[in-house]
Chains A and B, each alone.
Chain A
Amino acid sequence: MEAWVVATGLIFLYLVATIVLGVVANRRMTVDMEDFLLYGRRAGFVVLYLTVVATFHSAFAFLGSGGFFYTHGIGFWMAGTWTVLVGAITYVLGTRIWALGKAFGYMTPADMLADFYESEAVRIAVAVVSVLFTILYIQVQAQGLGYIINVASGGRISFELGTLVLLIVAAAYLVAGGLRAVYWTDVLQGVWMYLAVWIGAIYLAFELFGGPIELVRAVMAERPDLLTLPGPEGFFTPGMWLGMTLTLSFGIVFQPHMMIRYYTAIDAKTLKLLGATTPIYLITLYIPTALVGLGGAIVMPGLDVPDRIFPELLFAYAPAWMTGLILAGATAAAMSTLDSILHANVTVLTRDVYQRYVATDRTQAHYVAVGRVLVAVLLVVGYVLSVRTFGFLVVLVTLSGSGALQLMPAILGVCFPGRRTLTRAGVLTGIGAGMVTLYLTLVVVPHPWGMHGAVWSLLVNGVLAVAVSGFTRGPSSETVARIHGEVERFVYGSGEAPPAIEGTS
């Protein structure tokens, strides 16, 4: 049987499995916002673990990281720094976000920040940052999906049709089962993508070089420039190392699709175990992609699109069933991120915009129905963004990785009590100035003096947030005592948040 038939067939089977999971999730769902948008705050360790790692690792980790190793060499092994940092952030910060969410009924990042800083302007700014910079990931993931299915079918299924079909499948199971469906399909996707990338890389290493060690020896002999820093093209400078560490740890965690996951944990202990162990999955996924990228640089040098190295090697050297299995894994990697971003945007738009400003006093079923309509709207937006080229999108995609990083001072101000607090004016000034700096240091003059633009923007943001907070009015004593008191009680008290309080956000 030809490789493209097996590859396309396995992807189809995988899509059927996700639809079935969506239908089953629908039967378990109760029609209220917490269940549809937050899994009823009942996510246990296994489900939460696999949804976090599957969401964190997108099509980029599966295909793009191989391309990075192929082009820039071993420097991408720095991925360990940001993945281990994600674990620590989850342990220290994620648990505090969870406790506050449970205590005060927060459902989105904007809920928490607007409550603490007592400002609707903060809510709007955070919601805009959340949606603007993550909606672009829908485009990125959808394009990845279209590309994968186009490659898997040997060009028989067009990029546009592949993108549309996979977007519809993701939207369908999200509409059917809400976040529960997303989590359950993420479990499948998280396991599939991990096994697929390891099996594919090990197979190729033995097939092409006689084993992983022999592969590395071949790289040492033929391309030693790939095994030291800053790499053949000088990409991994110290400033880039620092900036990528910040952007891809804090910058990803503060995106709504990751922060919302903290709210969904069943208890703090689950979240702490998650923080302690997620780096194991996240780091070890980059071992096989390093083998693929470095080995590919020896076997198939000069690719026009380095991100294609994994599928190109598979089609050239692997059996059809394995190629299908692995490309379905790549589909899983992209879809698990895509569905989570779709869901996060639906949550922000339903909660922070519709419920807050359009229809404040409707039934839970009404808001769930609105959420489902928004999935369809975002599906159309995502598709249009994926198949059309807009000039301004190129700029926004460049900024998107570091956009959520601008929420860092504001979030730390809520979750870490101190002698003084930031103010709404300080936070808003910081976010605004951070965004302008980001534009200047990523687009106008990229990475000045070799330092990643994210570092510059965060410096400007933090300094201005503190400076402006020095002479402007902060949150009321009652609010600070209520929220920081809860953090204090959670961290140094019993360690568990109290029962949820309705309607305080």
Chain B
Amino acid sequence: MSTPGPVPRSHFFPRTAAGRRATVAFLLLFALCMPPFTHTVWNRIEPTVGGLPFLWVVLLAIYTLLVLVLVRVYRNGI
């Protein structure tokens, strides 16, 4: 790949501690709603939660937490 003159430091990794925390939190939570978790540990109907299947509720909880991470990032101006 080409190596042009002076360029900014890499943007692929957050530079601030708050940015790193938010990125790690999002990625860890996101990993929880991807295989293999979805197709193994979460993949069951019982125990139901409020009458709803376990898989559905777990995924809803993870999605909610992911949105909360995004909202928190926005509120903290990261």
Contacts and interface: CB of A to CB of B under 8 A. Distances in A.
Q: Do A and B come from one complex?
A: yes
B58 to A, nearest CB: 10
B50 A213 contact: yes
A241 B56 contact: no
B8 interface: yes
B73 to A, nearest CB: 7
A418 interface: yes
Interface string B10-48: 111001000000000010001001111011000111001
A423 B45 contact: no
A417 B9 CA distance: 7
A418 B3 CA distance: 10
Q: Is the interface of A mostly helix, strand, loop or mixed?
A: helix
B55 A228 contact: yes
Interface in A453-480: 466, 469-470, 472-477, 480
A122 B65 CA distance: 39
B56 A91 contact: no
Given A238-B39, A477-B5, A485-B8, A227 B51 contact: no
B70 A276 contact: yes
B41 to A, nearest CB: 12
Interface string B49-73: 0111101100110110011001101
Nearest to A213: B51
Contacts of A251: none
A279 B70 CA distance: 10
A411 interface: no
A44 B39 CA distance: 41
A280 B71 CA distance: 11
B43 to A, nearest CB: 5
Contact of A227 (B7, B45, B67): B45
26 contacts: A74-B55, A74-B56, A77-B60, A80-B33, A80-B60, A88-B66, A91-B74, A213-B51, A216-B52, A216-B53, A220-B53, A227-B55, A228-B43, A228-B45, A229-B43, A237-B39, A241-B38, A272-B74, A277-B71, A416-B11, A417-B8, A418-B10, A420-B1, A420-B3, A421-B7, A475-B4
3 smallest CB-CB distances across A and B, nearest first, come from: A474-B2, A238-B35, A488-B8
